[in-house]
């Protein structure tokens, strides 16, 4: 039932008139635009929050990675410090000798080594570095020394001894808040592993946070809170202590929080490796501006889609109707302009719709009619005209053949071999010329006609005529219009040999050039006028005798093989050359 219903609908649509099909196309375009608008705006509304979170989270991931990278670099530096042989040796000297010259030198060397590490590292992230031996500190910044009797020192020392050379991060000590790395320095020589002292490195948290939360123009006003065990290690100056307490209790991973008549987007996450938590705030006002711009872009896209659909509908209608206009023009041209069809830069044979079928069938019909008229009517008229022009004053052929046979018999009887040869050649030439056969005519047969004619002329002019033929036997089976070469040879004799007293040289050279036959008839003693064939056709030169034959040869070649082939004339050195160009088509 469903298939039958579908077929009925399909048949109904196919039978709609062109008018309703165009209306359907336009309506479909408008519906598509409307649906696109609805889905686009709905998609914008649903994806706003997701877009916000992913955009900010991606940026904040950079902050966490940056903080983690800085802390890892501090750890790596501490490993180099405790394993440094120079530091180890000087600690040994300092522990063994007290208040001596060697003790002072060792202290100075420790300070220089520690200072070298401090400046080779990116020291803007460090408050200070200290090495403690026998409770005496050697520090890069004396103002930050933690003396043995100060708050937190005992806690730091105990943590270093407890870690036994491992890294220990401390987030608070005494009344001072901060992030401190401590680890004991153990004697490596001879694997003694006795404690030589301990190193303490304090991280400059404000500087580290500042560089890690530099988001550029994306989030120019960001704030940051760094936590350790819910204790605030750092908070941006823009966040008050009360606001920090509110943010610490943030339950969700992200949320929108109002502060000071502004809204902020807060994201809470952690750096597990160092047991640190952080909360980052960015201005929600700037994000709202971004959403507004995005919505505006969507509106522009929707309007552009509507305009595009209107333009597309107009183009489709025009694209359909223009082919009917072309078909009408083709019919009018075919009817009024000598059966020539309109040439257009479009190939309808590759289209399989109704328009393609109509145009293709009309073109095929027009070409078939044109071919039938040209090949079966015009070509036949030209062929007979060529025969009639060759023998304008012919008498009855049978009477002529019988008479020539009688003359030939009589010439042989009296021993006149040249007369016999001329008569025999003339008889063969007339038989071939007057033959009504319509079968394919080969190059070999055409050259036989030329040979009969040249035999007569060579006997007539004797030593004054020098004739040469150059042809490959492999191309003698080529198809050629009858009486194409002989008139050119006759033209050469008429305008050369009969006009000069010295020897006349006539050459026929036939060669195959890229699937085309080039037949050149060359003679000395005469020259062709420039654009001779065009002048004959335009009647600028009135043909005298063979002029009509030259036009006839060119027309028959073009009708048989196409306009790319035909007859050309040119001069080369002291020779006049007539060249026939035809495709090489062997007769099977």
User: CA 453, CA 476: separation in Å to the nearest integer?
Assistant: 19
Residues 153 and 43 in one domain: no
Around 90, how many Cα atoms within 13 Å sit in the side-chain half-sphere?
A: 22
Q: What is the pLDDT of residue 582?
A: 93
User: CA 292, CA 299: separation in Å to the nearest integer?
Assistant: 11
Three-class DSSP labels, 235-303:
ECCCCCHHHHHHHHCCCCCEEEEEECCEEEEEEEEEEHHHCEEEEEEEEHHHHHHHHHHHHHHHHHHHH
> Higher-confidence residue: 122 or 469?
469
Residues 12 and 102 in one domain: no
pLDDT (mean) for 309-335: 71
Residues 47 and 88 in one domain: no
Residues 108 and 183 in one domain: yes
Residues 488 and 541 in one domain: yes
Range of the domain at 186: 84-209
Give pLDDT tens digits for 216-232.
Answer: 666 666 778 888 777 78
Q: CATH no. for residue 116? A: 3.30.450.20
Give pLDDT tens digits for 454-492.
Answer: 887 887 787 888 889 999 999 999 999 888 898 888 888
- List CB contacts of 195: < 8 A, sequence separation 6 or more: 161, 184, 185, 186, 187
User: CA 50, CA 43: separation in Å to the nearest integer?
Assistant: 11
**In-domain check, residue 189:** yes
Structural domains of the chain, count = 3
H/E element, 139: strand 136-139
Residues 106 and 158 in one domain: yes
Residues 17 and 104 in one domain: no
Residues 137 and 198 in one domain: yes
**In-domain check, residue 75:** no
**In-domain check, residue 505:** yes
Contact 116, 96 (CB under 8 A): no
- Decide if pLDDT at 19 tops 60: no
**In-domain check, residue 203:** yes
Give residue for tokens 């025009």.
318
Backbone angles phi, psi at 132, to 5 degrees: -110, 130
Residues 137 and 195 in one domain: yes
Contact 179, 67 (CB under 8 A): no
Q: CATH no. for residue 546? A: 3.30.565.10
Give pLDDT tens digits for 76-110.
Answer: 988 998 888 888 888 888 888 766 788 888 889 98
Residues 578 and 472 in one domain: yes
Give pLDDT tens digits for 145-161.
Answer: 667 777 778 888 888 88
Tell which of 144, 177, 209 closes a domain: 209
User: CA 18, CA 320: separation in Å to the nearest integer?
Assistant: 9
- Decide if pLDDT at 528 tops 80: yes
Tell which of 327, 342, 375 closes a domain: 327
Alpha-carbon distances, residue 570 vs 37, 62, 271, 512, 538 (angstroms): 72, 82, 93, 20, 18
- Decide if pLDDT at 373 tops 70: no
Contact 386, 549 (CB under 8 A): yes
Backbone angles phi, psi at 474, to 5 degrees: -70, -15
Give residue for tokens 């598509």.
32
**In-domain check, residue 77:** no
């Amino acid at each position: 039932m469903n298939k039958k219903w579908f077929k009925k609908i399909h048949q109904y649509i196919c039978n709609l008139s062109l008018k309703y099909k165009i209306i359907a196309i336009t309506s479909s375009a408008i519906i598509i635009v409307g649906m696109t608008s609805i889905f686009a705006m709905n998609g914008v509304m649903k994806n706003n929050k997701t877009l916000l979170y992913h955009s900010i989270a991606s940026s904040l991931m950079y902050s966490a990675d940056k903080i983690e990278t800085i802390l890892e670099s501090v750890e790596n530096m501490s490993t180099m410090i405790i394993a440094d042989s120079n530091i180890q040796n000087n600690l040994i000297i300092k522990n063994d000798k007290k208040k001596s010259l060697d003790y002072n030198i060792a202290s100075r060397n420790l300070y220089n080594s520690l200072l070298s590490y401090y400046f080779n590292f990116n020291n803007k992230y460090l408050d200070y570095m200290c090495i403690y031996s026998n409770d005496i500190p050697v520090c890069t910044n004396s103002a930050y020394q933690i003396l043995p009797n100060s708050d937190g020192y005992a806690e730091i020392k105990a943590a270093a001894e407890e870690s036994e050379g491992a890294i220990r991060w401390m987030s608070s000590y005494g009344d001072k808040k901060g992030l401190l790395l401590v680890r004991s320095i153990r004697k490596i020589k001879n694997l003694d592993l006795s404690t030589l002292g301990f190193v303490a490195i304090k991280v400059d948290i404000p500087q580290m946070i500042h560089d890690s939360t530099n988001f550029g123009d994306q989030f120019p006003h960001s704030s940051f809170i760094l936590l350790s065990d819910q204790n605030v290690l750092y908070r941006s100056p823009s966040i008050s202590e009360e606001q920090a307490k509110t943010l610490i209790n943030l339950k969700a991973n992200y949320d929108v929080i109002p502060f000071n008549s502004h809204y902020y987007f807060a994201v809470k996450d952690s750096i597990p490796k160092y047991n640190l938590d952080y909360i980052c705030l960015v201005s929600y006002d700037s994000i709202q501006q971004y959403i507004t711009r995005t919505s505006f872009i969507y509106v522009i896209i929707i309007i552009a889609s509507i305009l595009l659909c209107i333009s597309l509908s107009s183009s489709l209608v025009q694209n359909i109707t223009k082919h009917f206009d072309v078909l009408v023009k083709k019919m009018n041209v075919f009817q009024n302009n000598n059966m020539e069809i309109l040439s257009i830069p479009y190939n309808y044979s590759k289209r399989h719709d109704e328009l393609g079928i109509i145009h293709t069938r009309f073109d095929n019909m027009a070409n078939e009619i044109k071919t039938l008229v040209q090949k079966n009517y015009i070509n036949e008229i030209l062929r007979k005209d060529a025969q009639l022009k060759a023998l304008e004053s012919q008498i009855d052929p049978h009477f002529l053949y019988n008479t020539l046979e009688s003359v030939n018999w009589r010439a042989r009887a009296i021993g006149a071999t040249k007369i016999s040869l001329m008569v025999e050649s003339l008889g063969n030439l007339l038989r071939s010329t007057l033959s009504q056969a319509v079968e394919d005519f080969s190059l070999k047969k055409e050259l036989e006609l030329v040979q009969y004619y040249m035999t007569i002329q060579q006997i007539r002019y004797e030593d004054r005529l020098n004739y040469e033929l150059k042809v490959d036997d492999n191309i003698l089976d080529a198809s050629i219009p009858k009486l194409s070469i002989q008139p050119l040879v006759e033209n050469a004799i008429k305008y050369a040999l009969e006009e000069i007293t010295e020897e006349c040289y006539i050459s026929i050279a036939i060669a195959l050039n890229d699937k085309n036959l080039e037949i050149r008839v060359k003679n000395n003693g005469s020259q062709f006028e420039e654009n001779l064939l065009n002048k004959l056709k335009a009647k600028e030169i009135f043909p005298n005798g063979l002029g009509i034959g030259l036009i006839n040869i060119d027309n028959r070649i073009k009708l048989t093989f196409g306009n790319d082939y035909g007859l050309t004339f040119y001069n080369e050195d002291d020779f006049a050359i007539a060249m026939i160009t035809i495709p090489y088509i062997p007769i099977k």
